[in-house]
Chain A
Amino acid sequence: MIAFYIALVLGGVIAAAYIALGYAEFQRARKSYDQTAVTSEEDLDAQGQGFTWIALGGVVASTTLLVLISHTSWAWYILPFLSLGSALAVVAAFVVDREEAETQSQGAA
């Protein structure tokens, strides 16, 4: 039950950050309605680099986790905590959005 209570606390903190940052991003999107995002073709080409390794990494990581839970019971605890990690990934994405918005506003100034 200790794992549950740890997850409860972590989940509460993550949820609070998720809601706060999500609301801030919502307000920023509302205020910047007329701004158009522009990206060059070179940016799009650059985004394609290393993609195969990332896709392969995802396959290897998820398969490794499933091999682990097939051989040892302690690894089962990893999976629910990774689910908290999914919410944390969205929190991180909101932070990236905020930093990019700040960089853009400094550039405009």
Chain B
Amino acid sequence: MTAVQTAGHLSGALGYALLVGLGAFLLVIAISVRSFVRSTHDFVIAGRRIGLGFGVGSVIAVWTWSMAVLMSSAQAFSWGTSGLIWFIVPNGLAVVAVVPFALKLRKHMPHGYTIVEFIRARFSSRTATIVMLSAQVFGLLSEIFINLFGVVLVTGVVFGLNPTAVLLVTLATITIYSYFGGLWTSAITATINTLLITIPAALVVLFVLAKVGGPAAVFHDIDAKGGDLLNPFSPATAAAFGISLALGLLASTIADQTFWQKLWALRPGNLRRTFVWGGLWFYPIPLALGLLGLVGLGLGVTPDQLGDAGAGGVGPYVVSHVGLPVILIVAYVLVILNACYSSIDGAFSALSSLVAVDILKQAWPKIKEKRLFQLTKLSLLIGGGVGAIVVSSGIDYIALVNLVFFIKAVLIFPLVLAIFWQRTTGTAFVASIVAGLAVGLPLRQSGHDLLAIAALEGVSLLVVVGVSLLQKKKFDLDALRREAGELEQIPVLEGAR
């Protein structure tokens, strides 16, 4: 099998050209999409006219986070094929799991826009609404940070670029093109991102396999190392990260405005197909790129060689150290950049829907459409600015992101029951979140990760069910139909752009 080659970084100018060039390409598309957007309703929900093609393309891209792509290689490198099982299987399932929620909500709340709007209509509780709004805003900002980290990682390993400069250039680039078209831009550019992820990923992985002597050589070297590296059901992996990650991933789709925005934006006849196809055809991307982690194992790449990037850097390291032609290294970098850009753009789009529907429209119910449209778009620039400040401040944002995802997991049971159980009350919703965090967070701080997530979920379930039963109230789901759709009443204003 081919050994790892000593390789210097590729030109930094090429790295910046890729960062800006991809953004410029997507900006041209965003500008051409502007004619689709004639009102805030179009901007935040795409007129509820997104078809199956752009729906499936954008769901795949938005869920293909840059870190998810890198982490599939990392988990394979760290745990062997069991790492891939626990990382990939719940990932795809989390997207498919959106289907029952999408169907239920489109049936009872066909004119909805946001998850926060649902909570407001469902409970008529200011506290519950603020809790959900805060969780969504922090969750979306975390999505932005973690995807930025993926860009820093790949450009650092391949080009040796300065992290702060990369963060600022990337944020500025995505903010500019996101500004022009809202959800339509997000759906169309994300569909292009899917093309630029799937095909280059296949080509790069096949070339790498050929370059290192074929899968048989890698398989033989891993097998020779012994241990559980080729045992897909290794229990140690499940205990180490598998179970807690699976729960966190389910919360990430079910309690994420990025997905809720799409479930209300799709043509209703395509709901099930979009999320089923998107979930099932997401699987192959991390499956294919996970092979790079196994190649790293076979080559005997060491943690010292990966340096500060850690196991997450094994994919970029393998691609840039086995003697690939520059064009294929560039193609791999573009896979990561496309994954990052589509996820951040999706988060920006979701953020703008929260700002329009749950902040501006609530604070100023009679706000003029033109003003609402301008302020909604301005929120993207503010979101980009906040992101730039946070990521350039030196904060340990990976720890922050892990914390936010742990907190988001507490939303699973209260939210599921709010949708499917008419007896769930606002008090029970808030109490279950507070109690779950009160028990789970201290356990997490003391290092008991698996116990912490189990306690968090268990307590939140007990409290939401117990308090709801004690309150003996029943909600009429048809009331949701009357409480949403404010933006649809506003006439289209030409020239609002």
Contacts and interface: CB of A to CB of B under 8 A. Distances in A.
Bind each other: yes
Interface of A: 1, 3-4, 7-8, 11, 14-15, 18-19, 21-22, 25-26, 29-30, 32-33, 35-39, 41, 43-45, 47-48, 51, 54-55, 58-59, 61-63, 65-67, 69-74, 76-77, 79-87, 89-90, 93-94, 96-97, 100
A55 B279 CA distance: 9
**Residue among A4, A33, A51, A74 facing the most chain B CB atoms (10 A cut-off):** A4
B195 A37 contact: no
A58 B452 CA distance: 29
- Most chain B CB within 10 A, of A21, A35, A58, is at A58
A37 B269 contact: yes
Nearest to B276: A54
Contact of A69 (B81, B188, B195, B277): B81
A66 B284 contact: no
B49 interface: yes
B296 to A, nearest CB: 14
Given A93-B53, A93-B57, A80 B89 contact: no
Contacts of B201: 80, 83
Nearest to A19: B195
Contacts of A94: 52-53
A3 B206 contact: yes
B55 interface: yes
B53 A11 contact: no
4 tightest Cβ-Cβ pairs between the two chains A and B: A82-B284, A39-B268, A94-B53, A76-B215
B282 to A, nearest CB: 7
A72 B199 CA distance: 24
Contact of B199 (A39, A67, A87): A87
Interface string B192-223: 10110011011101110110001110111000
Contacts of A87: 194-195, 198-199
Contacts of B93: 55, 58-59
Contact of B288 (A15, A41, A66, A80): A80
Contact of A70 (B81, B195, B273): B81
Given A18-B195, A62-B287, A80-B205, 12 more contacts: A25-B51, A36-B48, A47-B272, A48-B272, A62-B92, A73-B219, A76-B218, A76-B294, A80-B203, A80-B288, A90-B195, A93-B55
B88 interface: yes
22 contacts: A3-B206, A7-B203, A15-B195, A22-B53, A22-B54, A29-B49, A44-B103, A44-B107, A58-B92, A58-B283, A59-B89, A59-B93, A62-B287, A63-B85, A66-B232, A80-B209, A83-B199, A83-B284, A86-B281, A86-B282, A93-B273, A97-B52
A15 to B, nearest CB: 6
Contact of A62 (B47, B49, B88, B203): B88
Interface in B101-142: 103, 106-107
Nearest to A24: B53
Nearest to A98: B53
Most chain A CB neighbours (cut-off 10 Å) among B49, B271, B281: B281
B60 to A, nearest CB: 6
A75 B192 CA distance: 29
A90 B288 CA distance: 18
Contacts of B52: 93-94, 96-97, 100
A45 to B, nearest CB: 7
* Chain B binding surface, main DSSP class: helix
A2 to B, nearest CB: 9
How many B residues touch the partner, as a band? 35 or more
B215 A37 contact: no
Interface string B287-299: 1101100100000
A51 B191 CA distance: 25
B291 A76 contact: yes
B291 A79 contact: yes
B199 A79 contact: no
Name the residue among A4, A26, A70 with the largest chain B CB count within 10 angstroms: A70
Contacts of A73: 214-216, 218-220
A6 B280 CA distance: 24
Nearest to A18: B195
A90 B232 contact: no
Nearest to A48: B103
Given A58-B96, A58-B283, A76-B209, A43 B269 contact: yes
A67 to B, nearest CB: 5
B361 interface: no
A30 B203 contact: no
A73 B220 CA distance: 9
B231 interface: yes
Interface string B57-78: 1001000000000000000000
A62 B96 CA distance: 13
A38 B267 CA distance: 8
Contacts of B267: 37, 39
B84 interface: yes
B447 to A, nearest CB: 30
A30 B36 contact: yes
